[in-house]
Amino acid sequence: MPLVDRISRLVADIFEVPLASVTPDSSPDSIESWDSLRHLNLVLALEQEFGIQFTPEEIEQLLSVWLIGSLVEEKLSSSGVTQ
C-alpha cells in the first residue's frame, strides 16, 4: 500500500472522518475533530505504523497530510527502512 494511503487511513481513523474526505491538503483547518489530543494520537499511530520517532519540533510541523507524508518519507529513507 502506498505511503500516502497508509497515512490517509490513519488520519481518517484517528479523526473519525470518511477516508474519501482525506486529501493531501487535509489539516486542522479542514478537519474539525483535529485537536491537540487527537494530534498526539495521530503521532503515536504514525510512529507505531512506520517504526519511527518524531522530535517535539517535528510533531509541531505535522499540520497536513502532505507534510506528514513528506516527513515520514524523509525519516524512512534516512533510516534505511523500506515502506
pLDDT at 63: 95
Q: How many CA atoms lie within 13 A of 78 on its CB side?
A: 8
Per-residue pLDDT tens digits of the chain, which is 83 residues long:
899 999 999 999 999 999 999 999 999 999 999 999 999 999 999 999 999 999 999 999 999 999 999 999 999 998 775 55
Domains annotated for the chain, with CATH where assigned, are: 3-79 (1.10.1200.10)
Q: How many CA atoms lie within 13 A of 20 on its CB side?
A: 0
pLDDT at 80: 72
Q: What is the pTM of this model?
A: 0.91
